[in-house]
Homo-oligomer: A and B are copies of this chain.
């Protein structure tokens, strides 16, 4: 992903991502943030300003350019997230990632603390979520606030090479790469939420479902990012418009 000279469209896209997460129920009130790698040691990240109103009401100006220590001329009077090390340490540890997303879906909280497995029992209902269950989702087991670099490194280590992670008692982190990195990170967060929601509902019903047979898993093709990520993104942008939450 090459960063454009004019950062305005990227600020806008990050602001939309924050609104989408909140509008889809993956973020309670003021907690959660999204970043984009902006160059060696710098990122654009959703910060908190003096009139902070929560993720659902993010505006372009909330997205600021800072270095990995959270410093930068662009910042004041905004403040970087307490958990900036989530972004800094993952952008450091994962050169393949251009975007880091962190939020708190209630479904994932429940699946995490109650140790509910995220098993592949459905298929064409939601192929990206099904494939995530097949691949497995790593768990970072500590419910701590990631406000120090060493905690961010612990998280990155737990995440390994995966693009998604359950943070038990806390939330999730997802990554995105390439031209549609923001859309991809959002789409992965939505898929993980779908997987967790179905898994929690199934746990309430006895968790009797059989794992899909290999022959059926083979009939669940990756439909590609332009199908999965861009269509899902446009859908959620349209939902923002319907809710009176558009930024245009």
A interface residues with partner B (beta carbon < 8 Å): 28-31, 48, 51-54, 56-57, 82-83, 104, 106, 109-110, 113-116, 121-127, 130, 142-147, 151, 167, 169-171, 194, 198, 200-209, 212, 216, 219-221, 223, 231-232, 234-239, 242-245
Query: A30: which B residues are within 8 A, CB to CB?
Result: 231-232, 235
For the complex, give the distance between the alpha carbons of A30 and B236 in Å.
10
Partner of A143, one of B110, B203, B212: B212
Residue among A114, A127, A147 having the largest count of chain B Cβ atoms under 10 Å: A114
A29-B231, A52-B231 given. 10 additional CB < 8 A pairs?
A: A48-B231, A54-B231, A54-B238, A109-B125, A109-B198, A114-B207, A124-B145, A124-B146, A124-B169, A242-B243
The secondary-structure label for the interface of chain A is: loop
Query: A242: which B residues are within 8 A, CB to CB?
Result: 56, 243-245
Which residue of chain B has the shortest Cβ distance to A213 in the bound complex? Answer: B142
Return A14 CB to nearest CB of chain B, in Å. Answer: 19
For the complex, give the distance between the alpha carbons of A57 and B238 in Å.
8
- Given the known interface contacts A110-B205, A115-B208, A116-B205, the answer about A29 and B121 at a Cβ–Cβ threshold of 8 Å is no
Which residue of chain B has the shortest Cβ distance to A127 in the bound complex? Answer: B145
Query: A126: which B residues are within 8 A, CB to CB?
Result: 28, 31, 104
Partner of A122, one of B122, B169, B209, B221: B169
Query: A54: which B residues are within 8 A, CB to CB?
Result: 231, 234-235, 238
Partner of A53, one of B31, B204, B235: B235
Task: Assess whether A110 is in contact with B145, with CB atoms less than 8 Å apart.
Answer: no
For the complex, give the distance between the alpha carbons of A123 and B28 in Å.
14
Partner of A232, one of B29, B104, B201: B29
Q: List 22 A-B contacts (CB under 8 A).
A: A29-B235, A30-B231, A48-B231, A53-B238, A57-B235, A83-B124, A104-B125, A104-B126, A109-B122, A110-B202, A113-B122, A113-B202, A114-B202, A115-B208, A121-B169, A122-B169, A122-B170, A123-B170, A144-B219, A144-B220, A151-B219, A200-B201
Which residue of chain B has the shortest Cβ distance to A109 in the bound complex? Answer: B125
Which residue of chain B has the shortest Cβ distance to A51 in the bound complex? Answer: B234
Task: Assess whether A125 is in contact with B170, with CB atoms less than 8 Å apart.
Answer: yes
For the complex, give the distance between the alpha carbons of A198 and B124 in Å.
24
